[in-house]
Amino acid sequence: MVTRSLTTWRAEVLGTVVAVVLVLALVATNTGRNALAWIYLQSHQAIEHSVHLPFPLDRLDPTCPQCM
């Protein structure tokens, strides 16, 4: 039991350290900032060009009797 909790703690610490290093690499480097900007622009463009339905999606739910 003690070994498992120690292993879990190590995995959590390692995961946190890796996440911090990746965030620093994205923010601190020019390539990382360009990648973040590209991702933002792509998601913004996808949202702009998405189809907006004129009714709520609850109406398509077959388990919702009052929506039918």
pLDDT tens-digit readout, 3-61: 678 889 899 999 999 999 999 999 999 999 999 999 999 999 998 988 887 877 777 77
Structural domain boundaries, residue 28: 21-46
Domain count, the chain: 1
Q: What is the pLDDT of residues 51-66, one digit of tens each?
A: 887 877 777 778 877 7
Q: Report the C-alpha gap between 5 and 68 in whole angstroms.
A: 50
In sequence order, what are the residues at sequence separation of 6 or more whose Cβ sits closer than 8 angstroms to the Cβ of residue 61? 67
Flag whether 10 is in a domain. Answer: no
Flag whether 11 is in a domain. Answer: no
Q: Report the C-alpha gap between 47 and 36 in whole angstroms.
A: 17
Flag whether 8 is in a domain. Answer: no
Return the pLDDT at 28.
Answer: 95
Return the pLDDT at 68.
Answer: 60
> In terms of pTM, does the model score above 0.75?
no
Flag whether 52 is in a domain. Answer: no
Q: Decide if pLDDT at 1 tops 60.
A: no
Flag whether 29 is in a domain. Answer: yes
